[in-house]
Amino acid sequence: MPMTNPTEHPAAQGVWLLGPAALRIPLGCGSYLICTQGTAWLTEQSAAPEAAGRDTVLACGERFVARRAAVVFVSAFRGRPARVAVGHAA
């Protein structure tokens, strides 16, 4: 799957190699982000107070499913390389 820039193509499915700098990835309700290599750290930005600022650490094979439209900021955990993929529920 080709590498894409999530800030340029926010609705696109894609795969990203993560580093220490956070990527901003918009997710629609039901969309998911899955860690396919390493460990990823994400912070959810949401209009819902109970979700805003929530941190999640994903090990390889784990996924985060957006229960509402949100923006996540995702980076490699502790600076070790990681890879994530974004998909949309069918």
Whole-number pLDDT of residue 65: 93
Which residues lie closer than 8 Å to 77 by C-beta, 6 or more apart?
Answer: 38, 39, 40, 41, 57
| Backbone dihedral angles phi then psi of residue 68, each to the nearest 5 degrees | -155, 165
**Tens-digit pLDDT profile for residues 38-90:** 999 999 886 666 656 789 999 999 999 998 888 899 999 988 889 999 988 76
Both structure tokens of 28: 């629609």
**Tens-digit pLDDT profile for residues 8-46:** 434 445 787 888 888 999 999 999 999 999 999 999 886
Domains and CATH numbers, the chain: 14-87 (2.60.120.10)
- Beta carbons of 16 and 40 less than 8 angstroms apart: no
- The Cα-based distances of 6 to 15, 18, 56, 61 in angstroms read 9, 12, 19, 21
Whole-number pLDDT of residue 85: 93
Whole-number pLDDT of residue 49: 65
Both structure tokens of 15: 């795969």
